Amino acid sequence: MDEHVDKDEHSGPPSTSTPPESIAKVREAILADHRQTIHDVCEIVGLSYGTTQRILADNLNMRCISARFVPRLLSDNQKALCVSVCRELKQQARDNPNFISNIVTGDETWVYGYDPATKQSSQWKLPNSPQPKKACQVCSNVKSILIIFFNIQGTVYKEFVPPGQIVNGNFHCEVLKWLREGIWRKRPDKWKKNNWFLHQDNAPAHTSFAVRQFLTSKNITVIPHPPYSPDLAPCEFFLFPNMKLQLKGRHFDTTEEIHADTQEVIDTNI
């Protein structure tokens, strides 16, 4: 029996490094479909679960995350249009110092008799404590549609839609008539010079044939708005969020109460 304690010469312990070929196979499999699970990749490349997981985490520096929900996935053409419109508006603002002040923007939104306030839902608990529960609250049935147009100087026209009235192209034409009257009364200088521009989003009621025909007949210049771009609509990113934040948690029993408080909030924001 060999009684020597010295180690015999050998090639050493098995290497723990991952062969480049295996890394390349895993990378190719993941790039083919980013939604595959580790088990799916294991079946494709013929590696163990632990090896595949180690390659993804250590060698490829990848991790599996949940997709973030967004309102709309824009196509390449829609993204290109958004860039083009933004560049056009930026250039007009550079060429005309009064460009921003000449824009009249507007939109419509629902205002509810009760809009539950957003509260923190998470809380600390012991390991043996039951899972906390919270009732799902909904907006009240008492509601009204607010239509508002404003510019840098303040509100030009606002109105609550009569109950039961459908906001379509024909109704929006009437709204635009009231808007022109508001400009004539509140912005006489812009009415005389006819140097104001209309900005609104691409809702069906705003882009209907009847509306386009009315805008053309009255020589109203419309600021282009890229599709699905609430970040470029002042009502969407400025007025309505601030207005509804201040109205959250309030209870209104009638539409008249809604109108009164909404009017007060609008006056403080514009």
pLDDT at 18: 80
What's the CA gap between 98 and 190, in Å, rounded?
A: 11
Minimal CA–CA distance to 211: which of 102, 106, 99? 106
Tell me if 142 sits within 8 A of 119, measured CB to CB: no
**Helix or strand (DSSP H, E) at 78:** helix 76-95
* Cα separation, 60 vs 47, whole angstroms: 15
pLDDT at 17: 67
pLDDT at 1 exceeding the cut of 80: no
> Mean pLDDT over residues 127-147, rounded?
77
pLDDT at 93 over 70: yes
Share of the chain above pLDDT 70, in %: 88
pLDDT at 14 > cutoff 80: no
Using a 10 angstrom Cβ sphere, with 0-12 exposed, 13-18 middle and 19 or more buried, the burial of residue 227 is: middle
Q: How many CB atoms lie within 10 A of CB 239?
A: 23
Residues 6+ apart with CB under 8 A from 168: 204, 205, 208
Assign 234 a pLDDT band (cuts: 50, 70, 90).
Answer: very high
Q: Is the pLDDT of residue 158 over 90?
A: yes
**Binning pLDDT at 50, 70 and 90, where does residue 239 land?**
very high
Q: Is 156 helix (H, G, I), strand (E, B) or coil?
A: strand
Helix (H, G, I), strand (E, B) or coil at 23: helix
Q: Which residues contact 184 (CB under 8 A, 6 or more apart)?
A: 191
Signed CA dihedral, 7, 10, 14, 20: sign only: positive
Mean pLDDT lowest among 161-175, 185-199, 244-258: 244-258
86 pLDDT more than 90: yes
C-alpha 174/C-alpha 170 separation (Å) is 7
Question: What is the fold of 97-117+138-269?
Answer: Nucleotidyltransferase; domain 5 (3.30.420)
Closest to 115 (Cα-Cα) out of 269, 270, 248: 248
Q: Long-range pairs for 208-213 at CB < 8 Å and ≥24 separation?
A: 208/168, 208/169, 208/172, 209/169, 210/169, 210/170, 210/172, 210/173, 211/169, 211/172, 211/173, 211/176
Q: Tell me what pLDDT residue 8 has.
A: 55
Percentage of the chain exceeding pLDDT 90: 64
Per-domain residue ranges of the chain: 20-59, 97-117+138-269
Half-sphere exposure of 164 (CA within 13 A, CB side): 0
Region 37-63 average pLDDT:
91
| Cα gap 178→161, rounded to integer Å | 13
| Range scoring the smallest mean pLDDT among 44-58, 109-123, 237-251 | 109-123
Model confidence over 179-225: pLDDT tens digits?
999 999 999 999 999 999 999 999 999 999 999 999 999 999 999 99
Contact 35, 15 (CB under 8 A): no
Average pLDDT over residues 100-126: 81
Q: Round the average pLDDT of the chain to a whole number and report it.
A: 87
pLDDT of residue 94: 95
pLDDT at 68: 76
Residue 135: is its pLDDT beyond 70? no
